[in-house]
């Protein structure tokens, strides 16, 4: 089974070869010794908002799994109610220019790595998954979600526009028409709605059930030769990855322009306030 021994790590790659479980600050990786399937758990409390460090650690973990020829990867969250709250708004609010630049370049890198990984990937969505959380989920090949949560690209509701590669990922997942409706409305789907629209593939009754279902999905590939599998996957996905690779700098500049716009800053400020007021 998945070994959960927590180890102090120096490099994830070396430890993955030797031990069942490794942990950096915000990401835990445990590998099933028998099946070779890895569970990658985001553990940045309270809501796994994607800051520079979480993004970088996720990217490192996924690349290490690639190097170690893992048989499959399940992405999930240590939180009981949030898979990921999307991008950390604090990275974009009154940003340090060098950090926000690295933040965006790292996010691009993470997406290209996850979307194009050779191993089968499953999101076990055990909590809310708005915006960047939805992007991570959609970048996997299969999605299993627990009931009573929400998922979607809600950017327009926040007065911002999802970047073209977010849009492409959604279009590739649910098709043009449904993506157009979802993106323009900034729609957050309930688990049941997400299943109906094809944004997720299965509903699970618990996190354990989601992991078992994910293992079953990945298990199907045991009989499929890996190379044809990967080539087929990339035939479908590489065009969008290459588009971003070629336009990384333009995409970065567009992001910086939006983020540094005083109107965006005001919008982020109000949104942060509204998040805090929900509690009061």
Ligand X SMILES: CCCCCCCC/C=C\CC(=O)SCCNC(=O)CCNC(=O)[C@H](O)C(C)(C)COP(=O)(O)OP(=O)(O)OC[C@H]1O[C@@H](n2cnc3c(N)ncnc32)[C@H](O)[C@@H]1OP(=O)(O)O
Residues that bind ligand X (CB under 6 A): 46-47, 49, 81-82, 85-90, 128, 130-132, 154-155, 158, 160-163, 251, 254-255, 258, 275-276, 278-279
Q: Which of 12, 75, 87, 110 is catalytic?
A: 87
- Alpha-carbon distance of 135 to 132, in angstroms, equals 5
Q: What are phi and psi of 97, to 5 degrees?
A: -65, -40
Q: Least distance in Å: CB of 189 to ligand X?
A: 13
If the CB atoms of residues 31 and 114 are measured against ligand X, the closer one turns out to be: 114
CB 119, min distance to ligand X, A? 25
- Torsion angle, CA of 71/243/236/150, rounded to 10 degrees? 70
State which residue, 32 or 41, has the beta carbon closest to ligand X.
Answer: 41
The alpha carbon of residue 121 and the mean position of all alpha carbons in its chain are separated, in whole angstroms, by 11
**Exposure letters 35-45 (e unless 16+ CB within 10 A, then b):** bbbbbbbbbbe
Catalytic residue, from 58, 146, 152, 155: name it.
155
3-state SS, 152-194, equals ECCHHHHCCCCCHHHHHHHHHHHCHHHHHHHHHHCCCEEHHHH
Beta carbon nearer to ligand X, 234 or 241: 241
Rank residues 172 and 230 by Cβ distance to ligand X and give the closer one. 172
CB of residue 52 to ligand X, shortest distance in Å: 13
For ligand X, which is the closer residue by CB, 107 or 218?
A: 107
Q: Residue 131 and residue 254: Cα distance in Å, rounded?
A: 18
Instruction: State yes or no: is 87 an active-site residue.
Output: yes
Distance CA 166, CA 190 (A): 19
- Here the tokens at position 205 are 């009754």
CA–CA separation, 183 and 189 (whole Å) = 11
Instruction: Tell me whether residue 105 is one of the annotated catalytic residues.
Output: no
**Helical pair 176-185 and 164-174, crossing angle rounded to 10 deg:** 130
Point out the catalytic residue in the list 28, 152, 154, 186.
154
Residue closer to ligand X (CB basis): 131 or 210: 131
Minimum distance between the CB of residue 84 and ligand X, rounded to whole angstroms? 8
Question: Phi/psi zone of residue 40: left (φ > 0), alpha (ψ -120 to 50 degrees), beta?
Answer: beta
Tell the smallest beta-carbon distance from residue 146 to ligand X (Å). Answer: 14
Q: Report, in Å, the least distance between residue 88 CB and ligand X.
A: 4
The residues annotated as belonging to the active site are 87, 132, 154-155
């Amino acid at each position: 089974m998945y070994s959960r021994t927590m180890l102090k790590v120096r490099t994830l790659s070396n430890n993955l070869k030797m031990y069942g479980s490794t942990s950096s600050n915000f990401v835990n990786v445990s590998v099933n010794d028998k099946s070779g399937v890895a569970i990658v758990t985001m553990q940045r409390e309270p809501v796994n908002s994607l800051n520079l460090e979480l993004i970088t650690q996720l990217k490192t973990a996924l690349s290490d799994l690639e190097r170690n020829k893992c048989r499959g990867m399940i992405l999930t969250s240590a939180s009981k109610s949030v898979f990921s709250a999307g991008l950390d708004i604090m990275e974009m609010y009154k940003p340090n220019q060098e950090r926000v630049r690295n933040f965006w370049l790292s996010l691009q890198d993470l997406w290209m790595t996850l979307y194009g990984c050779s191993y089968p990937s499953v999101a076990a969505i055990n909590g809310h998954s708005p915006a960047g959380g939805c992007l991570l989920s959609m970048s996997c090949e299969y999605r299993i979600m627990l009931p009573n949560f929400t998922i979607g690209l809600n950017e327009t509701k926040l007065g911002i526009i999802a970047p073209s590669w977010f849009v492409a990922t959604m279009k590739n997942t649910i098709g043009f028409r449904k993506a157009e409706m979802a993106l323009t409305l900034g729609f957050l789907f309930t688990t049941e709605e997400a299943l109906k629209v094809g944004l997720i593939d299965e509903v699970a009754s618990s996190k354990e059930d989601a992991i078992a279902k994910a293992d079953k999905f990945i298990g199907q590939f045991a009989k499929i030769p890996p190379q044809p599998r990967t080539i087929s996957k990339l035939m479908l996905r590489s065009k969008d990855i290459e588009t971003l690779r070629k336009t990384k700098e333009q995409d970065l500049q567009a992001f910086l322009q939006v983020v540094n716009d005083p109107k965006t800053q005001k919008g982020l400020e109000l949104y942060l306030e509204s998040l805090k007021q929900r509690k009061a």
